[in-house]
Chains A and B, each alone.
Chain A
Amino acid sequence: MTTDDEEIVLAFLEESRENLDQLDLGLIALEVNPADPALLAQVFRTIHTIKGTCGFLGFKSLEALSHAGENLLDALRRGELRFDASVTTSLLTLVDAIRRVLDHIEQAGTEGEVDHGAVISALDRHLASPVAVATFDLATTSQSVAMGTATAASETSVRVDVAILDKLMDLVGELVVTRNQFGESATIDDDGPLSLTYRQLSLVTRELHEGVVRARLQPVGSVTGKFHRIVRDLAASMGKQISLEIEGEEIAVDKAVNEVLRDPLLHLVRNAVDHGIEPPDERRAAGKPAQGMLTIRAFHDGGRVHLEIADDGRGIDSRRLVEHAIASGYVTAGDAAALGPDAAMDLMFRPGLSTKEEVTNISGRGVGLDVVRNALEQVGGSIDVTSEPGRGSVFRLNVPLTLAIMPVLIAEVGGERYAVPQVDVREIVHIAAAEIATAVRDVDGVLFYRLRERLLPLVELASQFNLESARHADGLIVIVVEAIGRRFGIVVDALGDTTDVVAKPLPRAIRTIRCFGGVTLLSDGQPALILDVAGLASRAGITTSCEDIEVRDIEWVAEAAPASLLLASADDGGRVAVDMSTVRRLEQISPESVERSGPIEVVQYRGGILPLLRVTDGLSSGTQSRKPSAVLHTVVCESSIGLVGLVVGRIYDVVPRPTTEVTVPPPSRRGAIASVVVDDRITEVLDVELLIADAGVWSTA
């Protein structure tokens, strides 16, 4: 063959293989929706195309194979035949036969000597005894069907060798480093021509980078698409019924990342089918539907791609894992007892701990989850698992979106610089020295900072890294970050610039340190470590339970507020209380002296007008009390609009404010901001300002 011919054949092989992948998906989809006319039409077209190209290139065997397939599909799409499992199997066998011939062509240049008579007659047999279906109207519209992710290559795209894209990426990386170095000298120029040029260069570099990154993007589906066929075949061979759902196949990731995900995902999917999901009778006995569910979900979050592989199978018993680990001498019984549930589950990722006694053809030998974890960590990714015995398991993987350039914030700790990925940074907070006493608290050994009514756990990087903090001023510099739903603050000595860096994976020797996600060279040539915010959170013990602590939930409120409450009863008999700090006087007002000023009740009081607020249960509008009483017990309070009188039922006592508050049920009374328990009674603490706002009382001055 001449080189031209070789190129044509190579292109043919590539295109045909893609078409065959499409066929796989289409056939499996048809198995579920046998009467879908659009699907049938598309599958027919695909095989028709293959047949045409084969004939054109003189591949007789392939032509015969695809011709047989085309005949069968023609009958199917004309409604002369019904699509069932045996038809699908025959067609999938055809697809595999075609693949083998393509492989042979690739290796030896010829189609090979295999006799495909069996495959062809299997297809023809279906035609011979057709199970006729009632004819239906074939829509000949050109609706496209979502059979998978790849659509036919449009004419506005080109095929590019991956090596070229890799080279482009490396070059852009070098350009960024060079630009950074240039930037160091350009900033001295300060708005002069040099600095102008630098800004221009910066802009162009950034756009070029973005362009190259986009060129390298590939949908995750190009990896996950193949799983439909694999799961179908695997499940069938084990006599299991499994449905596979994939969500988020259109999520685009860097091609290199896709390559990294391929094997781990395959391994997890096979594990789920092999070990995870039980055979139909076992499932029915457990009260589950006979068909098992396997879901793969891909999504973006915080600059990373996340994949969840969930099954509703038998789950993983962490106790069995621990027993196995002890039996294998991996961990002593004493150490094992100290393992928390997460750490116990983590044992699964250690080499040599497979809990399946038999080694089957399907799962292979010795290739364990440790390999999966290694592969992911090599590129700065991670994996963990949660499981419920009897209910199923969820494996969660994540990898960085690109393995290349990322914007970072430089932070200094202990005299060294570290890079914090910008994508994880939420805000920067400076805590003045004076504020530290009131705003920073130690709760059970964890430092918290009160940031706008929420508690932010703080991680001091210096102490995490066993370094001496080289802080200059007395205040604290906190970088508020968030990763995998965990928000916390990183305390550093000083802040540097925001800059773009070329991120490289961690060298082997330090790969296992969870706090770091990569390394990079700063613009002065010094190597620097890139923080892995999620890893840091894990190491520092930041759990999601910190997330929802609101300031009022802890002693904080008691310490900030005055120490006494005035106890009283409301009109309806319920218990209420008011902070003593706002109380000025206790009065007994005769009902006759109450006048109305518009919608508000007022009384003349000490030369002024005192608006009255009746404390009720909030259901009525509060302007009328039910029974006329002798006197109105009024608590005169200081407020933003001057003095106001809270009309209560009875005044009981002044008590120290309890240190804990009842949060469930939340206070329902109008004007109440919290509930406390005093003398075993639930007492709602009133806030004067709230009552005023509720009543719509304006300043009467």
Chain B
Amino acid sequence: MNERYFCTFSVDGLLLGIAIEHVEEVLGDQAITPVPLSDAAITGLINLRGRIVTAIDARQRFGLTSRDDTAAPTVVVVRAHGEAVGLFVDRVGDVVEVDDDCLVEVPVTVAAPIRALATGAYMLAGDLMLVLDADQTLAITS
């Protein structure tokens, strides 16, 4: 039995998870400074208690439809490549505990952009949670 913990969140109906050791915190609405000429997935810069952190739009990153702007976005602060990056998601879920042995392959029905970033999946009470590779997810350059 090998427990692993994941922070879960949903993006456009998809349930995703990032290993807890990569997640710093979860924030509410943030003031964003847009960055001209940057990659489309980059929403801009946010002020995280004095640190300037890049914010990435999960929907853009995963090639999904744009968010309906009336919903208040939530930011999952993920640490990878020695840097903190804010990931804008639709809603944050719970921290779940899974048994490492229950890891399954990512179904082929999952769209290509996400499949490239996912390392596996777990069945969670009827829902499929895709495991995201933090390093890959945050690897954007402009």
What residues make up the interface of A, taking CB atoms closer than 8 Å to B?
A: 174, 177, 416, 464-467, 504, 507-513, 515-516, 519-521, 525-529
Interface of A is mostly: mixed
Once the chains bind, are A507 and B54 in contact (CB under 8 Å)?
yes
Once the chains bind, are B42 and A526 in contact (CB under 8 Å)?
no
Cβ-based interface call for B124 (8 A):
no
Docked CA distance A515–B36 (Å): 9
Residues of A within 8 A of B38 (CB): 509-510, 513
Residues of A within 8 A of B56 (CB): 509
Residue pairs across A and B with Cβ atoms less than 8 A apart, 21 shown, are A416-B33, A465-B36, A465-B37, A466-B36, A507-B45, A507-B83, A509-B38, A509-B85, A509-B138, A509-B140, A510-B42, A510-B142, A511-B142, A513-B35, A521-B52, A525-B47, A526-B31, A526-B47, A527-B45, A529-B33, A529-B35
Once the chains bind, are A509 and B54 in contact (CB under 8 Å)?
yes
Sorted from nearest, which 4 A-B pairs have the closest CB atoms?
A465-B36, A527-B45, A507-B54, A527-B33
Find the residue from A464, A525, A526, A528 having the highest chain B CB count within 10 A.
A526
Cβ-based interface call for B25 (8 A):
no
Cβ-based interface call for B141 (8 A):
yes
Docked CA distance A513–B35 (Å): 10
Residues of A within 8 A of B37 (CB): 465-466, 513, 515
Once the chains bind, are A510 and B52 in contact (CB under 8 Å)?
no
Name the residue of chain A whose CB is nearest to the CB of B140: A509
In angstroms, how far is the closest chain B Cβ from the Cβ of A632? 68
Residues of A within 8 A of B13 (CB): none
Residues of B within 8 A of A513 (CB): 35-38, 142
Residues of A within 8 A of B53 (CB): 507
Residues of B within 8 A of A504 (CB): 52
Once the chains bind, are A512 and B142 in contact (CB under 8 Å)?
yes
Once the chains bind, are A529 and B141 in contact (CB under 8 Å)?
no
Known pairs A416-B34, A526-B33; A509 contacts B39 (CB<8 A): yes
Known pairs A521-B50, A526-B47; A509 contacts B36 (CB<8 A): no
Cβ-based interface call for B117 (8 A):
no
Cβ-based interface call for B46 (8 A):
yes
Docked CA distance A515–B38 (Å): 11
Once the chains bind, are B36 and A528 in contact (CB under 8 Å)?
no
Docked CA distance A521–B42 (Å): 18
In angstroms, how far is the closest chain A Cβ from the Cβ of B87? 12
Docked CA distance A265–B139 (Å): 28
Docked CA distance A467–B33 (Å): 13
Apart from A177-B50, A525-B31, A529-B35, what are 6 other A-B pairs with CB-CB below 8 Å? A416-B34, A508-B54, A508-B83, A519-B52, A526-B33, A526-B47
In angstroms, how far is the closest chain B Cβ from the Cβ of A404? 14
Once the chains bind, are B52 and A509 in contact (CB under 8 Å)?
no
In angstroms, how far is the closest chain A Cβ from the Cβ of B31? 6
Once the chains bind, are B142 and A509 in contact (CB under 8 Å)?
yes
In angstroms, how far is the closest chain B Cβ from the Cβ of A464? 8
Docked CA distance A466–B52 (Å): 23
Name the residue of chain A whose CB is nearest to the CB of B50: A521
Docked CA distance A512–B42 (Å): 13
Once the chains bind, are A511 and B46 in contact (CB under 8 Å)?
no
Once the chains bind, are A529 and B142 in contact (CB under 8 Å)?
no
Docked CA distance A525–B138 (Å): 24
Residues of B within 8 A of A526 (CB): 31, 33, 47
In angstroms, how far is the closest chain A Cβ from the Cβ of B76? 16
Once the chains bind, are B54 and A510 in contact (CB under 8 Å)?
yes
Known pairs A466-B36, A508-B81, A509-B39; A529 contacts B47 (CB<8 A): no
Name the residue of chain A whose CB is nearest to the CB of B34: A416
In angstroms, how far is the closest chain B Cβ from the Cβ of A532? 12
Name the residue of chain B whose CB is nearest to the CB of A417: B33
Name the residue of chain A whose CB is nearest to the CB of B82: A508
Docked CA distance A526–B142 (Å): 22
Once the chains bind, are A527 and B36 in contact (CB under 8 Å)?
no
Residues of A within 8 A of B47 (CB): 521, 525-527
Name the residue of chain B whose CB is nearest to the CB of A415: B34
Docked CA distance A516–B33 (Å): 14
Residues of B within 8 A of A508 (CB): 54, 81, 83, 141
Docked CA distance A466–B40 (Å): 13
Residues of A within 8 A of B36 (CB): 464-467, 513, 515
Residues of B within 8 A of A529 (CB): 33, 35, 45
Docked CA distance A431–B140 (Å): 40
In angstroms, how far is the closest chain B Cβ from the Cβ of A135? 63
Q: Which of B92-142 contact A (CB under 8 A)?
A: 138, 140-142
Once the chains bind, are B50 and A510 in contact (CB under 8 Å)?
no
Find the residue from B35, B39, B50, B54 having the highest chain A CB count within 10 A.
B35
In angstroms, how far is the closest chain B Cβ from the Cβ of A46? 41
